Structure 1
Amino acid sequence: MDILSNIFLCKNEEDCEKTPYYGTMPLVLSHISALEYWLSVRRGSRSFVRVSRARSLLSSVPSRSSEKVLGPWWLARPLHVIVAGQEQRRPSSEFVCHVWSGPLPKGSVLDTQNGFCVCSPELCFLQMANSLSMVELIMLGFELCGTYDVSDGDVRECQPLTSVAKLSAFADKMHGVNGRKNALAALKQVVGGSASP
């Protein structure tokens, strides 16, 4: 069982369609920042809500005030976030903006309920497929699907963040997205439930 199978999700479609954001829309952590986030919260209980209209969140323009709202103080700066287009990108020491024009299926963006959203482990894996070598990507697949945590330098037991089946199904349907081919190739070498690196 992976962590996300036990999270709070919308009870019905009507609840999912409601937008609980007022004022500044929360930014969406992506790429290396999303990965760092997921690896840092593997232990303990967390509650997430699936964002059904994730594309609307990408229209936010990152700013210093966004960083204060964003909140995950323990993550390395600059924070990597996804935005809808070139017009939302801003030169900044606080943010690296990645334009995401690919699809965002329901469940690919999760609201942490702490003032920011994060790409799902499945979307994050696909994003990382563009910057990691094949060996590194295979290792990441083992870590995301494994029952071990090495975030503090020691190997500790934890629940998997996702499964090989979920990663493969997600990548398979993301036609035309950069990294898809590498992700699918790497996943052929990944076995779920590994207890150590």
Structure 2
Amino acid sequence: MGEGIGFGGVYGSGLVRPQRGSSIVVGHESALRFWVNVRRSNAGMTKELLGELYPDDMLASIDTESVWADCSLLPLELPHDVAPRIAHASAALGLDGPLDIVVGKDSARRASAGARCHVWKGPVPDGLICCPEPGVYVVAPEVALMQVASGLGFYKTLALAMELCGTYSCDGVRGCEYGVVPVTTAARIGHLVSIVGRIRGLDAARQAARCCMDNSASPRETALAAMLSLPRRLGGWGCPRPELNVKIELSESAAHQCGRSHLVADLLYRRAKLDIEYQGKEWHTADEGRSRDEARQNALMQMGYSCVFVAARQIADESKVDGIAELIKRKSGLRPERTEANEQMMARRAEMLAALGICDL
């Protein structure tokens, strides 16, 4: 497979086609809960299901006309024996409560205690649906994101997009699981929202796609990267966009300082040669942890990099974030802000901080 956007060869081992009258297509919140569960429990199955979606190079070549032409969802309707089919789908997907079912038109809705029917006006071609169980289909993560975006608003949609593009997966009961398989990329989300056409309710998804970043390793990394990089009109600090969790290859002498051939930067500002490291509330309080931090800083200094450690309490303090942003801009060769944030900017900032969970720190 040629180079495309996103994961390359992970996608595209086989496309699937739901059948009218006998298939159930799960979307919206239920689809997102499914992707949360499968990422946490089974990396192999996650990759197998991603293999049923459009490969990167194919998705990159699809335009608006093509994505609507290659679409089997519009005629879909729930089977007549809906109750047992819904129960089977819920069990197969490991989901409790009513399933969010996607149909193509109002007349295709059916009343069922175990299902919520949603009419989706956007295209869902075969390459954006996977089949974890015969007769049971789940929309791709990018589609599920678009379906829930209008209810979440921009900031929460951005946080969700970065989670799907990252290596952590969260739910409200079990908390976060780290080191999981990403299920999409910012490039895939961005391309898809650009070609679906003017579907009502997609403004938040489009805006989030423009600001999304790959490879975040935690919700707090997502929040910090978003806060720093979002433009001031959206409540952010207007810094350049960082690379998340990327390697810095070390010279022999720098490697000797920390006993490693490379370091991974939480937020790397390559032009500024600046590594921003996020530390949680319990992180690096012991002497051993402080020693590792010092070794890291010494190794990076030998490479011409600066390293700044940011604690949870600091990202909850706007004056501290001001200082971090000023450092990033200065090292990036950018001029400092000449005007104070106005009332509208501050209102957006308060909205952003609440949506990203910073107010809870």
TM-score range, shorter chain: 0.7 to 0.9
Larger radius of gyration: 2
Determine if the alignment matches structure 1 residue 194 to structure 2 residue 216: yes
How many positions carry a matched residue from both structures? 190
1:32 to 4, 29, 32: 29
Q: Percent identity?
A: 27
Query: In the TM superposition, what is the alpha-carbon distance from 1:168 to its structure 2 partner?
Result: 0.6
Give the conservation status (yes or no) of the 8 Å contact 1:172–1:184.
yes
Determine if the alignment matches structure 1 residue 136 to structure 2 residue 133: no
> When the two structures are superposed, what TM-score results if normalisation uses the length of structure 1?
0.82
Structure 2 stretches lacking a partner, 5+ long? 55-69, 220-361
Q: Which moved more, 1:159-168 or 1:102-111?
A: 102-111
1:54 to 72, 83, 90: 72
SS in 2 for 1:130: helix
Give the conservation status (yes or no) of the 8 Å contact 1:3–1:161.
no
1:127 to 142, 147, 163: 147
CA distance in 1 between partners of 2:28 and 2:164 (Å): 14
Determine if the alignment matches structure 1 residue 96 to structure 2 residue 100: no
Determine if the alignment matches structure 1 residue 66 to structure 2 residue 85: yes
SS in 2 for 1:118: strand
Indicate how the Cα distance of structure 1 residues 5 and 75 shifts in structure 2: closer, same or farther if over 3 A, else same. Answer: farther
Deviations 1:18-39 (A, max 9, x none): x696x96220101000011011
Indicate how the Cα distance of structure 1 residues 169 and 161 shifts in structure 2: closer, same or farther if over 3 A, else same. Answer: same
Query: In the TM superposition, what is the alpha-carbon distance from 1:65 to its structure 2 partner?
Result: 2.1
Indicate how the Cα distance of structure 1 residues 97 and 24 shifts in structure 2: closer, same or farther if over 3 A, else same. Answer: same
Query: In the TM superposition, what is the alpha-carbon distance from 1:91 to its structure 2 partner?
Result: 2.4
Deviations 1:150-184 (A, max 9, x none): 34324411121100000010011010222322211
Give the conservation status (yes or no) of the 8 Å contact 2:78–2:110.
no
Deviations 1:77-136 (A, max 9, x none): 110011121222122221110112322234221112354100101111110112112221
Determine if the alignment matches structure 1 residue 110 to structure 2 residue 130: yes
1:176 to 198, 201, 204: 198
Give the conservation status (yes or no) of the 8 Å contact 1:50–1:111.
no
> When the two structures are superposed, what TM-score results if normalisation uses the length of structure 2?
0.47
Query: In the TM superposition, what is the alpha-carbon distance from 1:189 to its structure 2 partner?
Result: 2.5
CA distance in 2 between partners of 1:154 and 1:103 (Å): 31
**What amino acid does structure 2 have at the position aligned with 1:168?**
G
Q: Which moved more, 1:106-115 or 1:73-82?
A: 106-115
Give the conservation status (yes or no) of the 8 Å contact 2:71–2:123.
no
Give the conservation status (yes or no) of the 8 Å contact 1:81–1:96.
yes
2:10 to 6, 9, 17: 6
CA distance in 1 between partners of 2:215 and 2:194 (Å): 21
Query: In the TM superposition, what is the alpha-carbon distance from 1:192 to its structure 2 partner?
Result: 0.8
Instruction: Describe how 1:141-180 pairs up with structure 2 within 5 A.
Output: 141-151=161-171, 152-180=174-202
Identify the residue that residue 13 of structure 1 maps to in structure 2.
none
The structure with the greater share of residues assigned to helix is 2
Task: Report which structure shows greater RCO (CA 8 Å, sep ≥6).
Answer: 1
